A and B are shown apart, each in its own frame.
Chain A
């Protein structure tokens, strides 16, 4: 493992641990308002100052990081499972199934990802509880984000179908679900793993895009998207540079993900 990769892993672990320890590290809850100090600059009490309605920005960054970092992998897992079911099964079954799966992935990929995501989210209820908004946001990411992975998995499963060990298993009388789950799926693991890892940063960025447009996690619950939305009111960087901390943290985490993913994984 290279030094850059080790450092990236350490950064990701530190950010994850920091966000999980938000209950102890944060001076207050993410929704607690300090009404006597709205839009306060950084101080000993509020490390990153407070927002327009007096909520501690440091606490919101910690809790927001927790939501984005926990739910993006959950959405990535959902999309990878869907991709394995659609792409993996179609590639394994071949014939009409692969043509159907290709048509379905073509349909999903013919629309730009951001267009599809933003349109579908905008069509769903916006005036919902914060917890429900978190679920909707990450469920959409998982449900809509499988197409590219499915295409990769379909190609891999297709090549496995005609491999020697699958032919031998077939000749030994193994068929159907057992052959798929015992012999094909375990051999798709490296591709599944790579697709899962690649999806996480994509979903983190997608959630941030939705949040900035007001379609992500609902207030008062924070996420990187809703934290970055604060930049909308920024007039110049010099006045309140601490408001850029969520963006800086996002860049650090995304860079770390880039470093952790090896070139081979990205190519897979």
Chain B
């Protein structure tokens, strides 16, 4: 974990409102694990005040990491206007990432919208596993082009709400049909996306006793467990009532969370 000024290597628009940014940070790259995140100060000064959290979406070589981000507010809008050669302060890598599967273990990746970001990094580092990648979007215009995020050779099953490409309907239907098919090897599900999707996947996997790890999103201030601003309700009455998304997560075992109160 470090806090450093990093140079922007590129900042490229990949859909109407989604960008990929490459940043040079060898020390962060050396430590980064799939599921971890960084906090970026979108520009110097006090407005916007807080850093913004972004999943690490991949690494290139030993000195460059990528973030995939959607423009949703002021911070990300400012970031989208940054140029190659500009310098941004980055804190990271932060948080607890995915527990990676054993070699040969059947692995299902389920992404919803921009939630694909940490799963791209996951897929890149797990090329040997028996892996199926499913990604849901609202429409074809939102589909992140594979070749621009280092997934050129990977098969990604797409679902769109409006049916403009791939399966018409939620990506959870793709997951359901996978789970319904014959299986000699219990899969593990790794997922990230909007909360309603995560809730659906939690109930699908909990009902079937299928292991599942979810990556949660939250607004954050400090990113390292000091401010206690980002919390998610724990399923356990005995241990702590709330987890810190930044430090205990952002990746959680599906069983650790109280899904009714998220």
| A and B interact | no
